[in-house]
A and B are shown apart, each in its own frame.
Chain A
Amino acid sequence: MDKTINQKAWFLVLPVFLVVAFSAVLPLMTVVNYSMQDTFGNNQFFWNGVGWFKELLDPSTDLGGRFLASLGRNLFFSLVILAIEVPLGIVVALSMPRQGWTVAACLVILALPLLIPWNVVGTIWQIFGRPDIGLLGYVLNAIGIDYNYVSNDIDAWVTVIVMDVWHWTSLVALLCYAGLKSIPEAYYQAAQIDGASRWAVFKAIQLPKMNRVLLIAVLLRFMDSFMIYTEPFVVTGGGPGNSTTFVSIELVKIALGQFDLGKAAALSLVYNLIILIVCWIFYTVMTNAGNERKPQEGAV
């Protein structure tokens, strides 16, 4: 689209810039400040240079060990939920009814988990999974599977993953459905005339059309799972032991639990940097995908 160049547009953007700068840049400056200092209470601060960062990236220290372990756990968690939610979301989107009131009903039910406060999502699964009062825990134990997410590491992990699948698969499904809906009927008719198989239709028509939305879905799911805090915190509290302590949970423990400002700040910066890099990669891929598509669309 041809936009006119107009520097006065900055006046329109200024309010947004100020509000976001106030709540993003200003706090981040304090974080940078803290990350270089040490404190022994009483608001007395001492210069510590890059000491915290060195400690953070060295797995042999307490801080570094905890950070790298939680980072590993978090990456593993993100990859697992992506591997489940993306294919499942595509399947669900392909299973949407074609027309009639059922479409609206399915959309509403699909969207329901997305609109539940995150701590309530945690509460729902905390209750649902309990062996004594929860349906899931009770049934699993009744059929002979020893399931207890409070004491068993693997059960805790399964619970947290199933909870995330429950919470967010709908998002992937809704995005894919939006992508699928944009495919003109003529494409399918052409495929039918060519005698294309179901799989060929999916590969040649539906998947390319969903490319863009899938990219967004992967970005959002990766980011949100990478900073997940509330849901696992409510269900497992990071336990048993530290087995479900993700980066955000570790960070809040250090920052608000121990009030270790320097360590927390250094962790925050590294954490933020990772997010920023991943975000930038996705953004570049996304804009490039958009640019490549345009000439094609013009040709069709």
Chain B
Amino acid sequence: MHSIPGRRLIMGLFLIFLLLPIYWLVNMSFKTNAEIVSTMTLWPHAPTLQHYKRIFTDESWYSGYINSLEYVILNTIISISVALPAAYAFSRYRFLGDKHLFFWLLSNRMAPAAVYALPFFNLYSAIGLFDTPWAVALAHCIFNVPLAVWILEGFVSGVPREIDETAFLDGYSFPRFFIRILVPLIASGIGVAAFFCFMFSWVELLLARTLTSVQTKPIAAIMTRTVSAAGMDWGLLAAAGVLTIIPGALVIWFVRNYIARGFALGRV
């Protein structure tokens, strides 16, 4: 009764629709540029690793990945550490302006990055953080902190209140209770929230590109360089693209049951 007639066919077709463009990118990343431009082949006839080799040996390429990872990790750490106490407060207490604050956080998750690009540029230039990982990490907090609060709030609410009360009766101080009891209990929730902070920071380009120039260019911005006088270096572009998909593809298995929750701001 759960599902509809012909579901296998529908699912199959949809999955093919999802995988085909990705396959094409992977396919191209293993072809030589001559093969890409001259013939239409469904799989690489002369498979080559030259594009990947170029990325891993050319510093201007692989440094892009390191730069991206740097601000993404910084952002994840900041987001989770400020969001944890707030999630606990929203889950357990009622206080002045709590509902308004909650809505304000939501509205920031929805704010268009394009609106903030220019003011962020001015702000971080003024305080001397422009072109450092900190600028991007802090800028990405605007959508990741609300997300982390919303996800963690759901997990904290899943912890019975009796546990808090017993711990306090046993003489635990608040910080000690928080670190020794609460954090281990919601460890999986922290993992899920961290994953989504990582992901959303990783996929964002507009702010990351605006706030960096030379030192900390993210990989996404470096990818635009494949256009040269000799034309597009399609194979290199494809290989760089494939490498940006890998982090997500690697951890997706561990969070597969929480994907909906993460994208729905913990509201499912």
Contact = CB atoms under 8 A, between A and B. Distances in A.
Interface of A: 1, 3-10, 12-13, 15-17, 19-20, 22-24, 26-28, 30-31, 88, 91-92, 94-98, 104, 106-120, 123-125, 127-128, 132-136, 138, 166, 169-171, 174-175, 177-180, 188, 191-192, 198, 201, 212-213, 216-217, 220, 223, 226-227, 229-230, 247-249, 251-252, 255-256, 261, 264-265, 268, 271-272, 275-276, 279-280, 283, 286
Given A112-B22, A118-B205, 10 more contacts: A13-B101, A26-B123, A109-B18, A117-B203, A117-B204, A124-B22, A135-B24, A220-B263, A256-B117, A280-B103
B4 A198 contact: yes
Interface stretch (B55-63, B83-91, B183-191): B83-91
Contacts of B215: none
Given A6-B95, A127-B28, A24 B238 contact: no
Given A91-B4, A201-B1, A256 B111 contact: no
A227 B172 CA distance: 47
B28 A3 contact: no
B10 A251 contact: no
Contact of B142 (A24, A108, A170): A24
Contact of A251 (B21, B115, B265): B115
B92 A4 contact: yes
Interface string B117-128: 111111100000
11 contacts: A3-B92, A9-B92, A95-B10, A113-B18, A116-B245, A179-B268, A198-B4, A227-B110, A256-B210, A264-B118, A275-B111
B96 A177 contact: no
Interface residues of B, number: 98
Contact of B234 (A6, A127, A220, A265): A127
B192 to A, nearest CB: 13
B264 interface: yes
Given A5-B93, A23-B120, A112-B249, A216 B267 contact: yes
Contacts of B238: 123, 127
B151 interface: no
A98 B264 CA distance: 23
Interface string B19-34: 1111011001000000
B57 to A, nearest CB: 21
A78 B42 CA distance: 34
A177 B264 CA distance: 12
B24 A124 contact: yes
Nearest to B263: A171
A124 B25 contact: yes
A229 B206 contact: yes
Contacts of A166: 17-18, 21
A279 B123 contact: no
Contacts of A286: 267
B24 A134 contact: yes
- Which 4 A-B residue pairings sit nearest by Cβ, starting from the closest? A115-B248, A27-B119, A227-B112, A95-B7
B40 interface: yes
Contacts of A28: 119
A171 B112 CA distance: 19
Contact of B94 (A4, A97, A123, A217): A4
B112 A4 contact: no
A45 to B, nearest CB: 13
B142 to A, nearest CB: 5
A116 B199 CA distance: 9
Contacts of B268: 175, 178-179, 213, 216
Contacts of B205: 117-119, 230
A261 B259 contact: no
Contact of A24 (B11, B42, B108): B108
Contacts of B260: 174-175, 177-178, 213
Contacts of B1: 188, 191-192, 198, 201
A30 B119 contact: yes
B115 A16 contact: no
Contact of B18 (A127, A170, A223, A255): A170
B3 interface: yes
A92 B40 CA distance: 32
Contacts of B110: 223, 227, 275, 279
Nearest to B90: A13
B263 to A, nearest CB: 5
A117 B220 contact: yes
